Structure 1
């Protein structure tokens, strides 16, 4: 099973309890923090993709003991990076980002993440929140009263390092099914067309099927591909290799008669605007809420997901999360729906590509 990835890979780290989607508001509680004093020029205006790349670079450069995550201010186009001291702030501002001095480092918050995992139960999620500089713990409606009491005690013992919120619905994978794809007993959504070792294929969610399963473009139709690699739980990705070579473009169905061309893959960043395409609910948009989120489904935990406030429903699993021309994630699961709203988790495309040895054509 895939272990939780290092926080240097992404801006924040988190984990969740049962199933992948949940409904409810995302509480943004500001921690005691202040912008770093600086006489340098104003922060650079960045695209979300540029912010994601810069965030990863800076966290790698500073290390977990001197940094505390980052987030993208979409309104101003500014990447805000949490740091522990003025020398680190100087590095951040010199890069074109805005530095924000906070109290708790990623090292400290990662230790809190481990403590939370010890008392979490199915139906729990936990993640490092760069806005509040604390670990956000969430429980869904399935958590029993006795378990909830234990979680409340655990969070209380962590003091200002952790905060607890309740959300409606139940965390679960979205299995039923861009475009619909069908296998025996399952309908999911195609994520992104890729090339792996000279073979054409596409990415989808790992929980949609097992290695050796065949997939068609219509219910009861002829097979167009076979699932050759995948992981679930641990990760939630799969590679389906087309039966014959194709000229399928790397694009996403926008469900309005148009498509979005995809030219590459990018890391997600908190605050980034994203869109999701799926065969049940079509196209919906929202923002990235957290990254490196571990989600505990009834079948097991999936590590490293992207948490968003984009809605999804059964059948959208495997579908594309994207930002402009960048592939970002594969729909994993969550709670809620597209009538009342909800939260959806996505497995990072960059990780899926690396695991299966594929690239965006």
Structure 2
């Protein structure tokens, strides 16, 4: 089902593969500090609850780091001001952007494409990787041209793919992935990772050919990309993420990412990389099926990073899914929002 804009190992067996510290947020225009990630994500959640479809998306102002909320009416703008966020009137509302996404889903569902909401541009931002033929790209552009400027199409290098690899980290079914966050339900401990990883195997180890430390409790891919593994080795790992520099980042909450938000991605291949969120409610048309409601970022990633952690400071944001590759320090890492996975399995970060 397509979602709309409205919804929205260290060997100690801390299988949260890669821990990340949030980079410094931009200073405000008058020199005041920008809001902390926890404040930004909490305000974003509040605004989304209160406005729903009356907003066409939110993002962080590049200069101040403060939350901007797109609206189409003066009444909605007043409601935004009451929350402490900044309103911005735009041409297209949530319904129009939803309609554009629906048109792409029905008329231009092409392997190697991805689309999602870019609230800064008040558009649906479409990316086509190098596997998309000239004929299919022309079809994609025709559909975009029929949608009154609501869709912008760009070519990207590389190929959108799930980033499973053979190697080191968490192992199952002859493949390597990464784990995202340790989670709990009561006194039972688990970790979450990518669904395309848990689809591969029911049993997971901390080393290649090592003893099983966890068994699959749930998996969802395609459509979603999350899975749950229950620890079976008697361990009770800490609720933190490995920073790959000798340190660890505590995780205390989970939230949905905001466009413009700085984050870090940690995985067993590229370790810790940084980036910003560029689009939400993203559809990615992988070769073995689509995923919906994802988040697009500029963080770098590579094969084996699948299932790793995306987060901002102490806030868990997502589970690494894939990318179209990385050029220098500019990547296209895609994550599955972690709150959806937590809700699906009734577990919590700790």
* Offset, 1:212: 6.0
Asked if 1:326 is matched to 2:307, the reply is no
* Offset, 1:162: 1.5
Asked if 1:95 is matched to 2:93, the reply is no
* Offset, 1:341: 3.3
* Equivalence map 1:93-172=2 (5 Å): 93-120=81-108, 121-172=110-161
Aligned 8 A contact 1:205 1:238 in 2: yes
* Offset, 1:327: 0.9
* Offset, 1:101: 0.8
Moved more, 263-272 or 332-341: 332-341
1:246-294, Cα deviation, whole Å (9 max, x unpaired): 2210111111111111112111111111011111111011111111212
Distance 1:286 1:186 in 2: 27
Q: 1:9 to 1:273 in 2, by over 3 A?
A: same
Structure 2 partner of 1:5 = 3
Q: CA RMSD in A?
A: 1.9
Distance 1:285 1:144 in 2: 31
Q: 1:332 to 1:212 in 2, by over 3 A?
A: closer
* Offset, 1:87: 1.6
* Offset, 1:92: 0.7
Distance 1:236 1:307 in 2: 14
Aligned 8 A contact 2:156 2:324 in 1: no
Structure 1 partner of 2:70 = 82
Distance 2:44 2:250 in 1: 25
Structure 1 partner of 2:298 = 309
Aligned 8 A contact 1:44 1:97 in 2: no
* Offset, 1:119: 2.5
Q: State which of 69, 87, 97 in structure 1 corresponds to 2:57.
A: 69
1:64-111, Cα deviation, whole Å (9 max, x unpaired): 1x3211101254131000111212111111111111111110111101
Distance 1:140 1:127 in 2: 15
* Equivalence map 1:198-277=2 (5 Å): 198-210=187-199, 213-277=202-266
Structure 2 partner of 1:286 = 275
1:193-224, Cα deviation, whole Å (9 max, x unpaired): 11135321111111113386111111111110
SS at 1:104's partner residue? coil
Distance 1:338 1:166 in 2: 14
Q: 1:44 to 1:273 in 2, by over 3 A?
A: closer
* Offset, 1:299: 1.1
SS at 1:8's partner residue? coil
Distance 1:58 1:111 in 2: 22
What TM-score do you get using the length of structure 1 for normalisation? 0.85
SS at 2:282's partner residue? strand
